[in-house]
Structure 1
Amino acid sequence: MTKTIKEQTVGQLGGNGSVLARQRRDHAEIDRLMDHYALAEGDERERVLKEIVRLVFSHAFAEETVLWPVVRRSVADGEELTSRVEEEHQEINDLIAEVERLPQGDPVREEKIERAFSLIRQDIRDEEDVLLPRLQEATDSARLRRLGAVWEAARLTAPTHPHPVVPRRPPGNAVLGVPLSGYDRSRDLLGGPVGRGARKLLALAAGLLFAAFTAARRLRKRS
């Protein structure tokens, strides 16, 4: 079996543009930020946490939208491997959603952050040691670079915060990701949540989009 992507050269991963190299760079940055969070204090600590959240959720969205469908098609036990990672993603999603509702300084909030960080580190290891090497075995370097370009485009336009309404798999996550990404990036730019009315409108728009997409798929299957 191919060794963990953590120990391979960039060339072995398919080059700088390969999805494997891009994944590893993101993972290294997430690890660095979590270490920084542990040492930071006050406003700097909160700034680092926000940066972690933005990177983790845009990264996971790109995986679930672009990468895991390829793993399920290309790897013999891809369904089992991606299901396990998706469960980790969902638990991280739920924890960070709770963190964002709790006030700074609340000890429960810090416990949930520590649990989320532990899960993120476990998720990185599962991906780098098991799932991504299996994809590497089944995929040539040229395809890994093509996947890397699509993955990067998805990451740059992805939601940057947890959303309970977003499914873990396409097409639902891709359909709902468009309006929610706009909301999240406005929130990041303004430095906090936008108004309640805007949240309700975006939630409604996301629900309508998903319902319309589901209905269209059903009609196509019947025709």
Structure 2
Amino acid sequence: MGHGGDVIAELTTDHQEVEDFFKEIEGLPSGDSRRKDCADKVTIELVRHSVAEEAYLYPAVREHLPDGDALADKELEDHAAAERIMKDLEGCDADDPKFDSLINKLMTEIREHIAEEEGILFPRMRAMCSAETLSELGDKVRTAKKTAPTRPHPSAPDKPPANKLLAPGVGLVDRLRDMMSGRGKD
């Protein structure tokens, strides 16, 4: 969840963790309950990651990149689409006929999003921002992930200041639900 380094290193490590979960899911047979467990874990990580990006990375993209508004808006659209898929996935067990279709759709969406961020957005941020700015953003992202929600909330605000105000409270409720249900545990 918190890896250290600047914002790009932090988020790239998150991306690798998500890919590791995807590979684990792909390595399990259809209908295996462990696929649902992995899907829950990847959802937890993706939601925390997305909330942190929405709170800190995308406002910085708007501020530092000449076409930052358009880039940030595209990233937010990607997050919204993934969050709707995760919400649908949340209600499916691994043996549900919709599960495989939804998890495959999520993996495709997220892999495309990661490729765009790592191939376009991150290099541009590295070129336009000081090392100090990227480091400060990394600290903010790590802090945000600690209190972020762990479940998809497609109708929640995705732009500051509302997202920064609401996310910690929603995150607390989500973590309590996870603790009571055992969701996301090994």
Normalising by the residue count of structure 1, what TM-score does the alignment of the two structures yield? 0.76
Which residue of 2 is the match for residue 43 of structure 1? 33
Any gaps of 5 or more consecutive residues in structure 1? Answer: 1-15, 194-223
How is 1:186-197 mapped onto 2 (pairs within 5 angstroms)? 186-191=176-181
Q: CA deviation at 1:103?
A: 3.9
Which residue of 2 is the match for residue 24 of structure 1? 12
Pairing partner for 1:122 from 97, 102, 112: 112
What fraction of aligned residue pairs are identical, expressed as a percent?
30
Which residue of 1 is the match for residue 84 of structure 2? 94
- Structure 2 counterpart of 1:175, which letter? L
Q: Contact 2:35–2:94 (CA<8 Å) still a contact in 1? A: no
Any gaps of 5 or more consecutive residues in structure 2? Answer: none
Which residue of 1 is the match for residue 167 of structure 2? 177
Which residue of 2 is the match for residue 221 of structure 1? none
Over alpha carbons, which structure has the higher Rg?
Answer: 1
- Structure 2 counterpart of 1:148, which letter? G
**Pair 192,166 (structure 1): closer, same or farther in 2 beyond 3 Å:** farther
- Structure 2 counterpart of 1:116, which letter? L
- Structure 2 counterpart of 1:136, which letter? R
How is 1:34-183 mapped onto 2 (pairs within 5 angstroms)? 34-41=22-29, 42-183=32-173
- Structure 1 counterpart of 2:56, which letter? V
RMSD, matched Cα: 1.5
Moved over 6 A (4+): none
Q: CA deviation at 1:122?
A: 0.6
Q: Contact 1:74–1:138 (CA<8 Å) still a contact in 2? A: yes
Q: Contact 2:62–2:72 (CA<8 Å) still a contact in 1? A: yes
Give the number of aligned pairs: 178
Q: CA deviation at 1:181?
A: 0.3
Q: CA deviation at 1:59?
A: 0.3
